Structure 1
Amino acid sequence: MAENPFLKEEKIWVLDGAMGTMLMKKGMDVNYAPELLNVKHPEVLMEIHEEYIEAGADIIETNTFGSNRIKLSHYGLEDRVKELTKAGVRLAKEASRGRALVALSVGPTGVFVEPVGDYSFDEIKDVFKEQIEAGAEAGADLILIETMSDTKEAKAAVVAAQEICDLPVLVSMTYQEDGRTLLGTPPEVSAAIFEGFNVSAVGANCSLGPESFVNLVRRMASVTETPIVVYANAGLPVLKDGKTIYPEPPEVFGEYAVKLVEAGANIVGGCCGTTPEHIRAIKEAVKDLKPVKRNPIRGLKVASRTKLVFIGTGHPTRMIGERINPTGKKRLQDSLKRGDFSIVKEEAKKQTEEGADLLDVNVGVPGIDEPKAMKEAVRTVIETTDLPIVIDSKDPKAVEEALKMCDGRPIVNSCSGEVKDIKNILPLVKKYGANVLLLAIDDEGLKESAEDRVEIVERLLEKCEEIGIDRSSTLADVLNLAVSAMPESAVETLRAIRLVKEKFGIATTLGVSNVSFGLPARPLINSSFMAMAIYSGLDSGILNTGDSRMVETVFSSDVIVGKDRGAQRFTERFQNYRPKGEDRECRELLSKICQLSCSFLKGEKVSVEFEQKEEKKEGKKESEDEGAPEGVLGKIFKKVLEGDREGIKEPTERALSEFEPIEVSDRALIPALDVIGKRFEKGEIFLPQMLRSAQAVQSAFEILKREMKKRGGNVKLGGKIVMATVHGDVHEIGKNIVITMLENSGFEVIDLGTNVPPEKIVETAKKERADIVGLSALMTTTLPSMEETIKAIREAGLDIPVIVGGAVVTPEYAESIGGIYGGDAQQAVKIVKKLLKVEEE
């Protein structure tokens, strides 16, 4: 394992600044692949590297940000990945002459990984391997995976790097103003995910100015001791005299460098718009500073794409939903054999609503293709809920498929003390940065005594540490056996839990309901045992979250043992609690009736007034179906909200026997998308959920279009939009998201792709009689192309609206060039509807 240089020396490291900004300053044309300059103008690259080193940079980045075959294919250069990457590294190495470390810059591919996109984890990993292998061969000192919006894409790059070489790896995500990545991941979740890979640094770059990064760093530092790298833009770009200007001067970067270090940063540099002067200001500000001592939250960190859950001492007892498991469930077994995952989806949703903290996923049915089934089950679960996952399988191939599909940092359930498990499961846990459940059983079988079970856990911890899995990534299951068959087993299990906590301090878990197997009234045994186990040190349990008695026991036991100080969680959960078989309001009502009756019999005047109370159900939220149509249209509406692209087909087909296709669209699909849009704006859902809903609408639209063709009609709302990423820019994620939302709202979209010259956009808009043009740009260097395109549209006599958007586009810039600011995808759809008078403002 590579030594972490940022822990070896107690200093603040300085990273260099923007490459694109400097290339523009040097008069370079960057409207094509900047990596081509590595062979066309090496002297310019050498000069830039030299200037950054002289300014005080301890680390310089190679000019290889986009030298992967997906990005380079936009320029017809996909067969030159190795050549351009190696050239970039050699130039930086020659310029550094040992004065600075050389970091291979590895940027995003510009596409999404499944289930959000169409590329598999392995396909993306192979793309990165080609680039990283070339960089490592050329002599890079570090691998810097940067400007990532998707943790799964970043994970693929990390796995690729660690398969290729043992160089230190740094991972930097890019965040929006709401403190989340494009796909909804907050900084503390990213930090927890990549800590699992034992990367040398995790951090944030691009998008925002330095003031916005202080809180991002603070949030990462609150959950990890992994070094933090941070390099901000020089503010948000503005257009001045036809040039892109970044407003933040070097002295501001010097001021914020100190604040970033105080927040927990170990490496500070600059991104878009920064120059050697900015880096010099940072160097001067941090030259005498040392990294601050952190005291992050301790415990096992389990994460989905958007949620982080801690398990261990000092945290609430976590409930791991057990019901996605076919053992003893014939209906689930049959559905899995058919390749039908609707019950998996149903159980994932139910257990989430019941309050599960994590979900165990098991598809172990004899004769099934378990790796394939596990992959689809995990896909279904992560598309249904934001809860972290526990991968429950003994099949290494199934475990690996699940690990590649998982967005965050799951738990692998489990690795026993058996030789085959240690050989086959632990390396996968290490490779994919996961956590692992250590099962206290070995090749000799089950151990009766607590001491023997704990000894197996100790041996497993040693094996974990041998291959680089930290103890903080483990939790122990000392096994829970049926008391009906082994009366003393439960007591030994409780002792074993206490011994594990005392000896190792790691998190613990159990399959709780095993204790009552073979007995009547099992919930009574389960809940009693659960209370004792929590008192003994149990941190989590795999249990039935639909068992109210068990859930009540978990929350009340946490209050008693001090895990829920002030009973805050308990109160939130049970403030409207009413025990089964007991209705206090009913008793009060009967009492009042008795009193009134007595008064009446005494001849007293009686006034009867009963207060009508609206029933409040525990944890009830506003109905997802509020505003939904009735009947089959309501089912379609609900399938859109759930993002169920397969499940929406049947009710859509059925609806066509009652309604015209346009009615299905207007009364179910479009209103449901509007609800999704509102939830997205409120931050209740994130881009993956919005895209899944859009894909569900697309599935329904395909059926409607076929039917309309038969009937000679059209389901389109009307209006034709030409979309393009401007000349010099090859980024298409944002554009494609907008296109998906527009098409699934019923509009006709002509996608011209990326790097589109103004004349082609004008020609297409004329030929197609477009009602609107949409332009996207992600790179600051291509903002002038956006202005040129609008100018060309106007000079051609086209008086049509032009909507502009992209990470670097601001409302002020849009107005200055005569465009309409599109904001995000949902906002763009609203603007199009308003412009085409589909709906009023």
Structure 2
Amino acid sequence: MSGNPIKNKIFNLLDIECSKRILLMDGAMGTMIQKYKFEEPDYRGDFFKHHSIDLKGNNDVLNITKIDAIKEIHKQYILSGADIIETNSFNGTKIAQSDYNLEDYVRDININAVQAVKEAISETVDKVEGRKIFIAGAMGPTNRTASMSPDVEDPGKRNVTFDQLAQAYYEQSKYLLEGGVDLFLPETTFDTLNLKAAIFGLNTLFREIGFRLPVFLSVTFSDKSGRTLSGQTINAFWESIRHANPYAVGMNCGLGASSLINYIETLSEIADTKIFCYPNAGLPNPLSDTGYDETPDMTSKEIKKFVDSSLLNFVGGCCGTTPDHINAIKKVIKGATPRKKLQKRNLSSYSGLEHLTKDETNSFLVIGERTNVTGSPQFARLIKEGAYEEALEIAKQQVANGAHIIDINFDEGLLDSEQCMTNYLNLIASDPDITKVPIMIDSSKWSVLEAGLKCIQGRGIVNSISLKEGED
């Protein structure tokens, strides 16, 4: 497969369009599917007639059993003016489909998801006035989290690993690419470590095929606390994922446009890439036809505030939005000036749940080094005794006493350093008083450094890299 022409075409086409206008994304898939009032037999179809588990609610399986309905929804969004259509593949990973025992059908789900968009584009080509419609491969956060425990009694427990997530995202992205997407959109991120696994999976695919496609990365805030479910601020989120050099970064779901504008303003001030937002249609309202309280006119008026401030390069809608909402947004962005991309910054920046920047106003950073088995006899004793909760207090004390960064080291011959690092970092993630600061992963062993990086959702620091084991 020759990838370079594809890369050049897609990146260049997006660049050209983004230089002229704000591009319009589509709206909610789930809201539109609800209008069909599908029941269990509809989700099963003939293909899954005798499946052992109920499938109602698994919207992705409709790519197999009700693909005409999915295609029709895409067509409505295209005709409403959308330039970017997301595939119906939000739960298209083996991890998400394992709840329905449909892991073996993940390839079909994703390839059919792309095919539905392709057919919708083909059947509306004479009605879009020559507009290029981009296909975005939607990749949801899965129903598991790498940074939080599923058991309040066991804060270090995890129901998924970084490697499992990365593999699942790699497989999904491979199938979406096989189907023919133009770009990838990992979205509705509530745990940045999950997103970092998605980035790793995508980069694995890109190395394998020899070229890249544009990647849009989207985060969600589920309430007005200004943080993700896993605790990060918008600044910390950006610092955590900027290494991925996404084509665009933004926000979706969780809240309506009026509640997101302040966060988009912040993101627009710090992110040296393109910006997007596709908010919900306000707040949930069970008495509304869409399940949300904003009409198309109400949503578009809120979006206009973003547009008037030139905050966006892309805009669309999430839960509760319909083709009517997208058409209304189309009208308010017509002729609007798109956001101009910032120049890249040359600053040392890191993050835990909060961000930390080393600059002229903050040039002296304190690194707490008592969580180091080679430098702290007390810490070493607690780790050897398995007293991790007590060892956690040492880290907490360092942050309370002013440490900007916590250095963690388990390089001791009698310890399983990889397991110790994983256990301790998972516990730290449960305590926001500690994990608000960046983590310095300290080891002379590559395997320990790697184990540590797979546990932190922030942008950390790798310390004590050594070539004593050889250059390979």
TM-score by length of 1: 0.47
The CA deviation at 1:152 is 1.4
Match of 2:333 in 1: 286
1:173 pairs, out of 219, 222, 225, with: 219
Match of 2:154 in 1: none
Match of 1:492 in 2: none
Query: Could you tell me how far apart the structure 2 residues matched to 1:380 and 1:35 are?
Result: 34
Relative to 1, partners in 2 of residues 1:222 and 1:163: Cα closer, same or farther, differing over 3 Å? same
Contact 1:217–1:263 (CA under 8 A) maintained in structure 2 = no
Query: Could you tell me how far apart the structure 1 residues matched to 2:117 and 2:274 are?
Result: 24
Match of 1:108 in 2: 141
Output the amino acid matched with 1:140: V
Relative to 1, partners in 2 of residues 1:89 and 1:415: Cα closer, same or farther, differing over 3 Å? same
Instruction: State the Cα RMSD in Å.
Output: 2.8
Listed one character per residue, the Cα deviations across residues 432-461 of structure 1 (whole Å, up to 9, x for unaligned) are xxxxxxxxxxxxxxxxxxxxxxxxxxxxxx
The CA deviation at 1:298 is 6.4
Specify the SS of the correspondent of 1:196. Answer: helix
Contact 2:310–2:338 (CA under 8 A) maintained in structure 1 = no
Specify the SS of the correspondent of 1:144. Answer: strand
Contact 1:151–1:407 (CA under 8 A) maintained in structure 2 = yes
Query: Could you tell me how far apart the structure 2 residues matched to 1:342 and 1:27 are?
Result: 50
Greater relative contact order, per chain length (Cα 8 Å cut-off, separation 6+): 2
Output the amino acid matched with 2:298: V
Output the amino acid matched with 2:448: A
Query: Could you tell me how far apart the structure 1 residues matched to 2:401 and 2:310 are?
Result: 37
Residues 63-74 of structure 1: pairs in structure 2 closer than 5 A: 63-74=88-99
Match of 2:293 in 1: 247
Listed one character per residue, the Cα deviations across residues 231-262 of structure 1 (whole Å, up to 9, x for unaligned) are 01112232338x55433222333333332242
Relative to 1, partners in 2 of residues 1:291 and 1:57: Cα closer, same or farther, differing over 3 Å? same
Residues 359-378 of structure 1: pairs in structure 2 closer than 5 A: 359-378=406-425
- 2:351 matched to 1:303? yes
Match of 1:410 in 2: 460
Query: Could you tell me how far apart the structure 1 residues matched to 2:100 and 2:417 are?
Result: 41
Match of 2:209 in 1: none
Query: Could you tell me how far apart the structure 1 residues matched to 2:218 and 2:277 are?
Result: 8
Match of 1:24 in 2: 34
Specify the SS of the correspondent of 1:167. Answer: coil
Query: Could you tell me how far apart the structure 1 residues matched to 2:320 and 2:59 are?
Result: 16
Output the amino acid matched with 1:59: I
Contact 1:56–1:280 (CA under 8 A) maintained in structure 2 = yes
The CA deviation at 1:287 is 3.1
Contact 1:32–1:75 (CA under 8 A) maintained in structure 2 = no
Residues 144-543 of structure 1: pairs in structure 2 closer than 5 A: 144-165=185-206, 166-175=212-221, 176-240=223-287, 243-261=289-307, 262=309, 264-293=311-340, 299-304=347-352, 306-341=353-388, 344-384=391-431, 385=434, 386-414=436-464
Specify the SS of the correspondent of 2:315. Answer: strand
82-91 vs 1-10, which moves further: 1-10
Listed one character per residue, the Cα deviations across residues 761-810 of structure 1 (whole Å, up to 9, x for unaligned) are xxxxxxxxxxxxxxxxxxxxxxxxxxxxxxxxxxxxxxxxxxxxxxxxxx
243-252 vs 31-40, which moves further: 243-252
Specify the SS of the correspondent of 1:246. Answer: coil
Contact 2:215–2:246 (CA under 8 A) maintained in structure 1 = yes
Output the amino acid matched with 1:396: W
- 2:170 matched to 1:120? no
Relative to 1, partners in 2 of residues 1:16 and 1:115: Cα closer, same or farther, differing over 3 Å? closer
The CA deviation at 1:167 is 2.4
The CA deviation at 1:376 is 2.7
Output the amino acid matched with 2:172: Q
Specify the SS of the correspondent of 1:118. Answer: coil
The percent identity for this pair of structures is 34
The CA deviation at 1:114 is 4.8
The CA deviation at 1:226 is 2.3
Listed one character per residue, the Cα deviations across residues 7-59 of structure 1 (whole Å, up to 9, x for unaligned) are 56423221101112222334544743212221222222222212212222111
Relative to 1, partners in 2 of residues 1:332 and 1:37: Cα closer, same or farther, differing over 3 Å? closer
Output the amino acid matched with 2:396: K
Query: Could you tell me how far apart the structure 1 residues matched to 2:375 and 2:116 are?
Result: 63
Specify the SS of the correspondent of 2:114. Answer: helix
Aligned residues, how many? 420
Output the amino acid matched with 1:100: I
Contact 2:273–2:342 (CA under 8 A) maintained in structure 1 = no
Output the amino acid matched with 1:168: P
Specify the SS of the correspondent of 2:186. Answer: strand
Output the amino acid matched with 2:169: F
Output the amino acid matched with 1:33: N
1:89 pairs, out of 93, 114, 117, with: 114
Specify the SS of the correspondent of 2:447. Answer: helix
Output the amino acid matched with 1:112: T
Specify the SS of the correspondent of 2:88. Answer: coil
Query: Could you tell me how far apart the structure 1 residues matched to 2:376 and 2:99 are?
Result: 51
Query: Could you tell me how far apart the structure 2 residues matched to 1:198 and 1:266 are?
Result: 16
Query: Could you tell me how far apart the structure 2 residues matched to 1:27 and 1:40 are?
Result: 15
1:12 pairs, out of 17, 22, 25, with: 22
Query: Could you tell me how far apart the structure 2 residues matched to 1:63 and 1:147 are?
Result: 14
Query: Could you tell me how far apart the structure 1 residues matched to 2:286 and 2:373 are?
Result: 60
Query: Could you tell me how far apart the structure 2 residues matched to 1:361 and 1:309 are?
Result: 18
Specify the SS of the correspondent of 2:137. Answer: strand
Contact 1:142–1:170 (CA under 8 A) maintained in structure 2 = yes
Match of 2:182 in 1: 141
Query: Could you tell me how far apart the structure 2 residues matched to 1:36 and 1:250 are?
Result: 29
The CA deviation at 1:338 is 5.0
The CA deviation at 1:273 is 1.6
Query: Could you tell me how far apart the structure 2 residues matched to 1:205 and 1:353 are?
Result: 34
Query: Could you tell me how far apart the structure 2 residues matched to 1:366 and 1:196 are?
Result: 33
The CA deviation at 1:123 is 1.9
Contact 1:192–1:223 (CA under 8 A) maintained in structure 2 = no
Query: Could you tell me how far apart the structure 2 residues matched to 1:253 and 1:419 are?
Result: 59
Is there any run of 5+ residues in structure 2 with no aligned partner, and where? 44-55, 123-130, 150-157, 207-211
Query: Could you tell me how far apart the structure 1 residues matched to 2:341 and 2:199 are?
Result: 25
Listed one character per residue, the Cα deviations across residues 275-319 of structure 1 (whole Å, up to 9, x for unaligned) are 222212222322322333466986222111x21111133435221
Residues 27-38 of structure 1: pairs in structure 2 closer than 5 A: 27-29=37-39, 31-38=56-63
The CA deviation at 1:401 is 0.3
The CA deviation at 1:324 is 2.3
Relative to 1, partners in 2 of residues 1:367 and 1:135: Cα closer, same or farther, differing over 3 Å? same
Query: Could you tell me how far apart the structure 1 residues matched to 2:439 and 2:430 are?
Result: 12
The CA deviation at 1:358 is 0.9
The CA deviation at 1:223 is 2.2
Match of 1:435 in 2: none
The CA deviation at 1:378 is 2.6
Output the amino acid matched with 1:211: S
Contact 1:223–1:298 (CA under 8 A) maintained in structure 2 = no
The CA deviation at 1:336 is 4.2
Contact 1:344–1:380 (CA under 8 A) maintained in structure 2 = no
Higher gyration radius (CA) = 1
Contact 1:205–1:230 (CA under 8 A) maintained in structure 2 = yes
Contact 1:188–1:219 (CA under 8 A) maintained in structure 2 = yes
